[in-house]
Amino acid sequence: MNVPLDAKTLVQVDVALPSSKSEDADMVSEIVVQDVADRVGQLSITLAEVSGDVQDVTDLYQNKTNGFRELHNGINSMAARGRQVVSAAGAALETAAMAREKVDDSSRRLRQMMSDVASLTAHVTDITGQLARVSQSMEAVTKISLHVSELARQTNLLSLNAAIEAARAGEHGRGFKVVAGEVKELSNQAGQATAEIGKTMGDLAVQMGKAIEQANAATALAGQLRNSTDLVGADIDVLPQALSNVHEVQTDIVTSARAIGGDLDHAEQEIKIMARGVETASISLANASQKLMALTDTSETLISLTARLGVDTVDTPFIRAVQDVGAAIAMRFGDAVTQGRIVITDLFDEAYQPIKGTYPQQYLTRFTEFTDEILPELQEPMLKFSEKIVFCAAIDRNGYIPTHNVKFSHPHRMGEAEWNARHGRNRRIFDDRVGLNAGRNQQSFLLQAYRRDMGNGEFAMMKDVSAPIWVAGRHWGGVRLAYLV
């Protein structure tokens, strides 16, 4: 950074002045004015450099302000969501408590149901055993019935033999015959009874078999049901404990959520205070930047005034050179309009058409092709005027540079914005302070100091001297000559 003018340098100015009273007063004045012009020029550079630094800090603070604002909004949103989490966690905690009570009640009922199932299983098993014993008793009755039937048959045979013997005995066997008849009748009744018993027992056996099959199936089903209820019983024992654990975890969540909510509320207040501080600093820096820009404009005006007084300074050769090239461009433009090579409405076209696939954005106008033909032979030689010169390019009233120097007119590369910004500067609109001032200046010349971004965080202090371009009495724009200091 250049050292600004201070009291010491003012003393050095006095020392540098001629001390002899015989020296010409005009020479003294010229020396003083030239020295002032040099120092104002140096001051303008310093102001431009400081202004650039302040602008960088201002932009940084502006970004920080926006960042803090977004952070504050984010924290505010997080705090609101935290409160929602606390509310939801509290509701979930109450729900879990209710669920736990219901599960405990359901567990008691399920345990009672399991007990009932176990009792039912035992009853079904007992019934199956009883049916088996009844079946065995029926088999025994059937066997006894068969024995009775056999005895009845034998008795019937005996009664028949007795009747035959009674008939042979004649009158003496009449009483025996009556007895034999009664025995036969009893035998017949016994046979009928055993036959009915046999038939009934047979029917009962069939029904009993079916009953035993159903009882066996019921027993098997009861066994499966008991096994299932045993498994459910294990789950029932685990479920209340699991719900208890869930209740404890949710309690911890509610506690933690409330603590986080408190922290977020505190952070929100702190960030709000910090955001206000950064915003205040950003406003102050913006004001300082504006004041520095005003000082820069004032210093540039002083430089222009000294140059118009005819005092030669380090910038005088560049001023004269840019005035010459500006006049040459104006003459070539005017001749082209007169000769019909371009109509004046096309030369002053402001309908900038974006070129697809370019970034930073490039544009075309109805005069771009014309300036590509005219300007290179006037602009390119200016690059050899001094080794300090960086570029020489005509710019219209809106900051549009249709035709740049060849070294800055490379085709844009897809996806390489930084390279394009450095090497493809033609057909672009430079509507920054320096660019617009150069395009809209109508004085004989305009000298500006500024920082040029060289990329990768590097800057170079430069001066930009421009001269207006007039065509048919209308202000077209200007021509810029930029050089290092």
Is residue 128 within a helix (H) or strand (E), and if so which, with residue range?
A: helix 25-169
318 in the same domain as 293: no
Segment 240-264 shows an average pLDDT of 70
Q: SS3 for 343?
A: coil
Residue 381: asked if its preceding bond is cis (omega within 30°), the reply is: no
pLDDT for the residue 3: 35
Q: What is the pLDDT of residues 83-105, one digit of tens each?
A: 777 677 677 767 767 766 766 66
Give the CATH number of the domain where residue 11 resides.
1.10.287.950
Boundary residue ending a domain (307, 326, 350)? 307
Q: Which of 441, 445, 351 is nearest to 400 (CA)?
A: 351
Report the mean per-residue pLDDT for the chain: 75
For the cut 80, the answer to whether the pLDDT of residue 142 exceeds it is no
Question: Does 42 or 113 have the greater pLDDT score?
Answer: 113
Q: What is the pLDDT of residues 294-306, one digit of tens each?
A: 555 565 566 566 6
1 in the same domain as 36: yes
pLDDT for the residue 389: 96
Dihedral sign computed on CA atoms, order 128, 131, 137, 138: negative
Q: What is the pLDDT of residues 284-294, one digit of tens each?
A: 555 655 655 55
Q: What is the pLDDT of residues 332-382, one digit of tens each?
A: 999 999 999 999 999 999 999 999 999 999 999 999 999 999 999 999 999
For the cut 60, the answer to whether the pLDDT of residue 107 exceeds it is yes
For the cut 80, the answer to whether the pLDDT of residue 417 exceeds it is yes
415 in the same domain as 301: no
For the cut 70, the answer to whether the pLDDT of residue 210 exceeds it is yes
Domain hosting 287: range is: 1-307
Q: What is the pLDDT of residues 144-188, one digit of tens each?
A: 767 677 766 777 777 777 777 777 777 766 666 677 677 767 767
Q: How far is CA 445 from the centre of its chain?
A: 53
Question: Does 134 or 437 have the greater pLDDT score?
Answer: 437
355 in the same domain as 451: yes
DSSP letters along 276-298, please? HHHHHHHHHHHHHHHHHHHHHHH
286 in the same domain as 374: no
Give the CATH number of the domain where residue 402 resides.
3.30.450.20
295 in the same domain as 339: no
355 in the same domain as 295: no
Share of the chain above pLDDT 70, in %: 57
Boundary residue ending a domain (307, 332, 349)? 307
pLDDT for the residue 285: 57
252 in the same domain as 146: yes
Q: SS3 for 351?
A: coil
246 in the same domain as 331: no
360 in the same domain as 300: no
Domain count, the chain: 2
